Amino acid sequence: MATREMGQDEMQGMMREMMENLFTNMMPEMMLKGMMPHCIEMMMPAVDKGRRAELVLGMIGKLVEQGASGMSEDEKANLVAKVIERVQSTG
């Protein structure tokens, strides 16, 4: 079975496709599951205790807003209920 060498344009096209797949499918979840929680663990202790509540509320608000994007009202209510349950069981 004969193989052929890939041309530069074909190679660049494959690389572009791989990078698009990485950024649209893998990167967001990797960032949200691994990098962001790690960053918060490292940075939050350095923030003045008096400002933490404001920062935490802002982050939770943005997470719920974006997390609920495109959801029905019932799905949004379910998400908010889960967030409230998690917040109440933490600490």
pLDDT-based confidence at 1, cuts 50/70/90?
A: low
Above 80 in pLDDT, residue 91? Answer: no
Do residue 37 and residue 66 come from a single domain?
A: no
Do residue 80 and residue 90 come from a single domain?
A: yes
- Residue 2 domain-assigned? no
pLDDT in tens, 2-60: 566 778 888 888 888 888 877 777 788 888 888 899 999 999 999 999 999 999 999 99
Per-residue confidence (pLDDT) for residue 46, from 0 to 100: 96
63 contacts: CB under 8 Å, gap ≥ 6:
83
Do residue 88 and residue 75 come from a single domain?
A: yes
Do residue 53 and residue 39 come from a single domain?
A: no
- Residue 41 domain-assigned? yes
Distance, CA of 8 to CA of 14 (rounded, Å) = 10
Do residue 19 and residue 40 come from a single domain?
A: yes
- Domain containing residue 16: 7-46
Q: How far is CA 70 from the centre of its chain?
A: 16
